[in-house]
Each structure stands twice: as structure tokens, then as C-alpha cells.
Structure 1
Amino acid sequence: MSQTGKTKTAWSLLLLQLTAIVFTGCISEDVLHPVTSDPDAKAMITFVAAEYSTSTKPYFENVVKEFETKYPNIKVELQVINWDILDSAYNTMISRNQPPDLLLTNIYAHFAKDGLLNSMDDILSTELKDKFYPYLMDSGRMLGKQYTVPYVTTIRELYYNKDIFNEVGLTEPPKTWRDLEEDARKIKNTKQVDGFGVDLTDNEIWAYLSYFFYGAGGGWMKDGEWAINSPENVEGITFLKNLYEDGLTDPEPAVTTRDEKQRILGNGKLGMLISGNYFEAVVPHEYPGLKWAKGPIPVKEGQTPLVLGVQDVWMSFKTDHTNKEALSKFLDFIYEDGRYEEFVLREGFLPTIRTVGSKLAANDPSMKQNLDSIKSAKFYPINNPAWSAVLNATRNMGQTVLLGQMTPKQALDRLQQIALDKSR
């Protein structure tokens, strides 16, 4: 067949395919979500990010400005939303069939289960994919597909006010629950300030549940199955409740947030609390005279030391203007070493890519220690589709348990049932 004949045949086949689309209403996913190889094609990216601090929005605004200068044919629409309203904001967008092309948050599996997400395997460049620490990619994988990639991560540890510890005669942080109880009581009785800060508010309660689940030898899941109401977990939450009832925690665990408690510690009115490594960048800057130190999260006697890791991740929703090539360029741009390092240091996080992690660890022993620790960290089960429902159900649990409206066992039985129902 001549080249002209081949061209006519190709056009005829294309016209037949388009006609079939018009008359059947069946449009393939590739048509709805095209990948363009034309460098001059116009593209748009809608981008929603969580707000970590007052620096977050200016940082991303500058990133978008620089990116649009480099790629003038790609328009980026940015929204930076406070964590307190982030979930409701993006869920409203999704309910209106207007999800963002890119979302930075901490849950995703229920979206993947409902078929709302693009696979990151189709978006990430080979160069970027090879940068990530492999062990941080596992939680973003479901059914053989990579649905998310980690942007930042943290590890949680016990931070304490050294001046308070020295004044009451404490020379090291508590390592066990018994130590924690005794030290908090000594601080309370000697200094007349709160011993141990506990955050059971909407945005942090699942962290404190995790500290005492894992600290007792339990956890959210066991052998791939939900185990929220295990005897170990009940014991852990019962111990936490007893600390509160004995006056050894701050008086309002379900009201005062972690960030507020960090300031209370900085002001010398709180002995210790569990927080992320961002504490080290934020609190000493705000309270330059503060003498502080850190130690492991206390665990039940006989349990192994606990490291809890937390990740925030990128996901990409299927939209009517998805352009995977543009998204790939944008993610490459965001993760460029210098730009990404600036964000990590500015917000006090741990890097998720090896190039930046190796550089920072070489110059900062604390960073090296944190990056070594996170290799063995336990993480939330964010790749389980029921996790979103479980997380939401914990939000009012702190007040309910602390005030005795439900026993720890009753509350955890309820969470277990929600997890099982959503897993069916």
C-alpha cells in the first residue's frame, strides 16, 4: 500500500472511532485523561496543599510562580488550606466532581478503592521515582499500583523541658510507662505545672492512640486484619485515661492542640509531651532561651522501644483536564534538590528522597539519627481503604473516654466494628 493510501486508511479508522464515541457515549479513559507529547500544548494543574505553618503558602506560591515562568504553557491553580478544614474542603470539591489534579494530605486508600485516582506509575519520571527511599513508598501502594508518593515524613519522640527536669531532680527522660507516671507526678507535685501533655483533639488523637497501642504491644492491625479492640490496645488507652484522672496530664487533652502544648512547654508550664521532629525547628526558634531535650516514646515495661513515623503524600485525581506529562514536570520541579531541601528545612520535616537526605545527614547528626530511626518506624495503615472511616470515628473519642461516657473497651469495640464494616 502507498504512503497516501496508508494515510487515508488511518484517517478513516480515526473517523470511525470518533463516530462510535459520539453515538455510543463511551469515551475511553485515555480520551478523558490525555497525555500530550506536544510541548506547545496548553495544560492546567489544580493543586491543593495542606498548610503546615505561615511559611507554607508563600513557599508554594513562589514554587508555582517559578514553575509557570519555566513552563509558560502550564497553568497552576494553587490552594493552600489549613489542616483544620482541609478534609472538608477537598471532600466538597470531590462531591461536586471538581477534585484537584494534585492533593497533598495524609489519607488516600478509599479514593483509590473508588477508582478516583491516577496511578503515580503513569506520572512519575524515572529519575524522580529512583530518588525516593524505597521503604517510604510501601504505604502508597495498593493492588500492585503506586497511588501516592511521600512528600514529607516525621518521627515522633518525647520532648521535655530540661530546666523543669533539672529543678525536680530528673536526669533522663522516662523510658517506660511506670517512669512516665512517676516523673509526671514529681513534676506536678514539685513544680505545680502539668507533667505530661496529651493531644486528643480532632487532628492528633490517632497519633496518641498509636503511641499507647504500640507501647502496649498492640497496634491498629495484626497479620493483615484489624485488631483495634485487642487486649493490648485496651490496656494502653486505660493507662492513658488513668494518667488523666490522676491529674498527671494537662487538664484539657481534647481541647488544647499539640502546637498549643508546645508553646506551654516553651513557657515553662509543661514538663513533656510527644511531638514530631518539627518541634526542633519550631519551638526553639519561638523560645530561644528554652533548654530542651528528647527521648524515646515511653512503652509498657518489657516492650521494645517505639518509633512512630508519619507521612504526608501526593495523590492525583482523575479530572476532565488531567495532563500526566504536565503533572510529571511539576512533580520533578517540586522535588528538585535545592527547592525541596528548602521546604524540608523551613518546615522542620525529614526528606523522603535520598539525594537530599544524604546531604542533610552528612552535615547534621540529628538528621542522620532521625533518618536511621525511620527505617524501623511503624506507620498508620493509610493503604487500607477503611482507614479514613476509622480516623474520622476517633475524632470525638477522646472526650467520650476521658469523661467516662464510654469505657476504653467500648470505644475500641466501636472503632473495630467500623473498620470491619468499611472493609466489606
Structure 2
Amino acid sequence: MRRYKGTIAVLAALTVTVALSGCGTTASDGVTLRLVAADYGSTDANTSRKYWNDLVREYEKKKPGVKIDVTVLSWKDVDREVAEMVERGEAPDMAQIGAYADYARDGKLYPVDNLVSVPTQANFLPLLRQAGEVDRLQYGMPFGASTRMLFFNEALFDKAGAEPPGDWSALQAAARKLKAKDVKYPFALPLGSEESQAETMMWLLGGGGGYRDSTGTAYQIDSPTNVETMTWLKDKLVGERLTGPVAPGELDRQEAFDAFVRGEVGMLNGHPTLMETAEKAGVKVGAVPLPGVDGRAKATLGVADWMMAFKQNGHRKEIGEFLDFVYSDKNVLEFSDRYDLLPVTVSARDAMEADTGHAALRPFLEQLDASELYPVGDTSWARVSESVKKNIGRAVAPDGDPRAVLEEIARDARAAEASAR
């Protein structure tokens, strides 16, 4: 979920590497598969290596001729590390990271329909299965998903006499009341370099626009609708000092989330993991669908991270059998439960919806099918995302020009598309 980076994941402070089984590329009695996976935990107590350790132990009992080496890296490092492995000609058999499209375009990945069983491929949620396609052929398998809602601190709202907002005018009115009660961040607006492509996309959707046009085939970053959205943010929130003491362009998402957990934020856009973390810290969290300019936003942001299989070492059959096991309901639900993420398969999603113990996640589940994801199947997206993260904070700065900044990002998008052809 880069997102969280990209997706919805929590950044680990340090890289954690662990070999869960085996130590080479070929076991004496069969095959050793190498998997590089992202760490969704924030401490050693909840690191993803524990999830993979349990899963691998069970699988190796079922398949004594196959060993699985898993290296778990922080989200801060995993995409770069995998890219460097591939560049050195040392691609792992599988990688569970934030993006797959560049590797697919370069012919380095197995197509999913040549890899896993038909029931496994057919069980991926349709929106996510389609998002894993390049030129209508699936290469990316979704692994963990999330959607976004607007979170608010119920205690701060009660103290300020504010109401949960249903549109931007109501959001501004609530932020004014929170500011009057000396709330440090009436609305936390993280447009710093960490994850601002996500925050930006949520606001663009709320304004009726987005990164892509209505056909999904071309970028529309500097559209009049998007310019109006960023101008509203600049004038109505940032300009009225309703976003707190840190300039949005200097505020990273994790800083905003940490402030929310400390009880210093009235409102922000968040994902399920943050909700649980805040409530464990004693913050009573309210949640509503993302507000838009004149009512509910046309869609919320959906985020998925990706599993992929590299061709370099062969092992197609063994990889496919292991991934069939990884995507069984039991394992998908175990991972989703552990990290408060949404299941990526139909059967696991249905099981979670039917379980009263997951009532808090139902609003996020209900949004997923109609959510809008990043254009991850476009090889240009990585460069466009970097341009957003680098530049978007300037659009809402006191001396910023929203139109000029969006035009600059749009030029970067066109250049990225041209080089990807």
C-alpha cells in the first residue's frame, strides 16, 4: 500500500535482512527459491520476517524438495535493493515490492497466467488484477491493499464544537474551529517528499480531477480542475494557517501520522493501520469518506503493493506452486490481520466482510472496488511520482503558483511517457 511507501506500509527505521531457510541457489535435494520482501512492521516485534518465517516453515513441510530463502528489507530500501540486484544480474526468483512495470517492459518477469494456477489468478480482486497488467497481460500480483478515509480526533472535535466534514467548505469550517481551540494541526497536509503523490491524488480526486483523464490513457496533471484544487488548498487551508506550524511542503506523511497519534492533529487523510495505531495510543478516531469540493469525493485512493516473479533463474513451476500457497485464504487473511490491510483476493475479502471482528475495516473494504489506483502499469509513473514528490509542496507555498507547478510536473510526465515508448 508505497504505498504505504506507494503504498500503505509503515516504514521500518532500519534495513532488516534475514535468511529464513537455505543459503544458496540450489538445495542438495531440490530447488532453493529466493524472495525479497518488504517489511510492513515498524519494530522487531512486528516485523514481516515473522510472518514469512511461519509461512515458509509450513510450506517446506509440505514441499520437502523446495527451500525458500526470504530477505526482508525496509520499505526505505527494498525497491532500490531489488533494482540493484537486477542490474547486477542477480535477480531474486520473487520480489514483493512497490512497482513491477519497468521489469515487465524489459521482459524480465513471468506473466501471471504462465505462473500460478487458474483459480489463484481468477481470485484476485478484478480492480487489482487489472492494475497488475501491462499491455493487457498481468505481471504484477497484488500483495496487501488499502484505501483512504478522512480521520478526525473525536475529542478535539467535541472540544471545538466541530462537525465531521462532508465537503471542503465544511472541512474548512471545522479546521477554523479547531484552530480557535489552539489545536496544533487543524488539518495535517503532508506534501513533503515522502508520500505526497498519495496526498495530492486524494485532493485531485476530491476536486473532480486526478492524474489521468477520464479514459485513463493520458496524464491531465495541469488541467483547469486540478489547478482549481491546488489553488483552493493554497488559499483556503494553507493561506488561513489551518495546516499547522510546519509548511506542507516540508511535512512528511510519517511526521503527520505521528502527530495524529500524539493527539496533536484534528484531521488528516489516513489508512487502516494508522487508525489502529492511534486508538492503541488512546486517540478516539472518527472516520468519514474523503470530502470533495461539493460533496463526497468522486473516488478514494486505492493502494496495492506487488509480488512479481523473475525469469532469470528459471524455477517457473516451483515459483508458481509456492505463490499458490502464499495466496491461499489462510495466508492472505493472516497477513491482512497482522498489518491491518485489505485482502487482495475475492474469497479472502468475502471472509473478512463476514467476520464481525473486522467491522472497523468494512468501510475501507466497501470503497476498494470503486477506488482509483496509481497508474502503476505505466513505466512512466515512477518518474511522474518523483516529480510530484519533489515539486508539489511549492504549489501551496505562500509565494507558490499552483498552475506553474502543475505545468512543470505535466512536462515531466510528457517526457517520461515519451522515453517509455
Is TM-score (shorter-chain normalized) higher than 0.5? yes
Q: Which residue of 2 aligns with 1:32?
A: none
Q: Report the counterpart of residue 389 of structure 2 in structure 1.
A: 395
* Equivalent position amino acid for 1:137 in 2: R
Tell me how far 1:324 sits from its aligned partner.
Answer: 1.0
Aligned to 2:232: 239
Q: For 1:379-414, what per-residue CA distance to the aligned partner results, in whole angstroms no more than 9, with x for missing partners?
A: 111111211111122222244434467522222212
Aligned partner of 1:311 in structure 2 is 304
Give the whole-Å Cα distance in 1 for the aligned partners of 2:165 and 2:241: 18
Structure 1's 305 and 421: CA in aligned 2 closer, same or farther, altered over 3 A? closer
How does 1:273-422 map onto structure 2 within 5 Å? 273-285=268-280, 287=281, 289-301=282-294, 304-319=297-312, 321-364=313-356, 365-403=359-397, 407-422=401-416
Instruction: State whether structure 2 residue 166 is matched by structure 1 residue 212.
Output: no
Decide which of 194, 216, 234 is 2:185's aligned counterpart. Answer: 194
Which letter does structure 2 place at the counterpart of 1:273? L
TM-score (norm 2): 0.84
How many percent identity over aligned positions? 28
Question: 1:20-76: per-residue Cα shift (whole Å, max 9, x none)?
Answer: xxxxxxxxxxxxxxxxxxxx9722322121222132222123322332333232232
Q: CA RMSD in A?
A: 2.2
Give the conservation status (yes or no) of the 8 Å contact 1:195–1:271.
yes
* Amino acid of the structure 2 residue aligned with 1:301: D
Distance between the aligned counterparts of 1:405 and 1:84, measured in 2?
32
Q: Give the residue type in structure 2 aligned to 1:59.
A: Y
- SS where residue 242 of structure 2 aligns? coil
Q: Distance in 2 between matches of 1:389 and 1:64?
A: 35
Counterpart contact for 1:309–1:378, Cα < 8 Å: yes
Residue 125 of structure 1 corresponds to 117
Would the aligned equivalents of 2:144 and 2:343 in 1 still touch at CA under 8 Å?
A: yes
Deviation at 1:174, TM superposition (A): 1.1
Structure 1 contact 282–348 (Cα < 8 Å) conserved? no
Tell me the residue number matched to 1:111: 103
Is residue 148–residue 302 contact of structure 2 (8 Å, CA) maintained in 1? yes
Q: Distance in 2 between matches of 1:145 and 1:306?
A: 26
Q: Is the 8 A contact 1:362 1:368 kept in 2?
A: no
SS of 1:187's equivalent in the other structure is: helix
In the alignment, the residues of structure 2 paired with residue 75 and residue 278 of structure 1 have an alpha-carbon distance, to the nearest angstrom, of: 32
The answer for the alignment partner of 1:270 in structure 2 is: 265
Q: Distance in 2 between matches of 1:66 and 1:340?
A: 14
Aligned pair count? 382
Any stretches of 5+ residues in structure 2 without a counterpart?
Answer: 1-27
Deviates more, 1:195-204 or 1:298-307: 298-307
Q: Greater shift after overlay, 73-82 or 176-185?
A: 73-82
Shift in Å, 1:250: 3.0
- Is 1:148 matched up with 2:140? yes
- Structure 1: tracts of 5 or more residues without a match: 1-39
| Contact 2:261–2:277, Cα closer than 8 Å, also in 1 | no
- Corresponding residue of 2:33: 45
Aligned CA distance change for structure 1 residues 116 and 392 (closer, same or farther; 3 Å): farther
Matching residue of 1:157: 149
| Contact kept? 1:84, 1:203, Cα under 8 Å | no
Deviation of residue 267 (structure 1)? 2.3
> In 2 relative to 1, CA 190–152 (structure 1 residues): closer, same or farther, beyond 3 Å?
same
Partner of 2:61: 69
Q: Is the contact made by 1:48 and 1:103 (CA closer than 8 Å) also made in structure 2?
A: yes
Q: Is the 8 A contact 2:272 2:361 kept in 1?
A: no
The AA in structure 1 aligned to 2:35 is F
Q: Which moved more, 1:191-200 or 1:253-262?
A: 253-262
**1:296–1:306 Cα contact (<8 Å) kept:** no
Cα distance between partner residues in 2 of 1:140 and 1:276 = 21
**Which deviations, in whole Å up to 9, do the C-alpha atoms of 1:222-270 show, x marking residues without a partner?**
1211111111112222222332232211333344433332332232211
Deviation at 1:293, TM superposition (A): 0.9
Give the Cα separation in 1 of the matches to 2:50 and 2:295: 47
* Matched-pair contact (CA < 8 Å) for 2:196–2:389: yes
CA distance in 1, matches of 2:125, 2:80: 31
Q: Which protein shows a greater Rg?
A: 1
Relative contact order, CA 8 A, sep 6+: which one is greater? 1
Query: Secondary structure in 1 aligned to 2:148?
Result: strand
Aligned-partner Cα distance in 2 for 1:115–1:221: 26
Counterparts of 1:235 and 1:260 in 2: how far apart (Å)?
27
Query: Which letter maps to 1:81?
Result: L
The verdict on how the C-alpha distance between 1:91 and 1:411 changes in structure 2, with shifts beyond 3 A counting, is farther
Matching residue's letter, 1:216 = G
